[in-house]
Amino acid sequence: MSRLSRLAAPALIISALLLTGCVADDAPAPDAEASTPAPAPTTAVPTPASPTDAVPSGPVLSMTVLPTGCEDMLDDAVLAQLEDIPLNDPSFGESGVLPDRSLRCVWSEPGSQTTRLVTTINYAPEQPVLDYLNVLMADGFVCYEPSGGLRCEATWDNETAPVTDGRTLFYRDGVLIDTQYSNLAPSGYTAAIIRTLWPEG
2: Cβ contacts below 8 Å, ≥ 6 apart: 145
Residue 159: how many other CB atoms lie within 10 Å: 7
**112-125, pLDDT tens digit by residue?**
888 999 999 999 99
Residue 172, phi then psi, degrees to nearest 5: -160, 135
**71-119, pLDDT tens digit by residue?**
999 999 999 999 999 999 999 999 999 999 999 999 999 988 889 999 9
Q: Model-level pTM?
A: 0.80
Sign (positive/negative) of CA torsion 53, 59, 60, 65? positive
Q: Where are the domains of the chain?
A: 4-197
105: Cβ contacts below 8 Å, ≥ 6 apart: 70, 87, 88, 95, 96, 117, 118, 119, 120
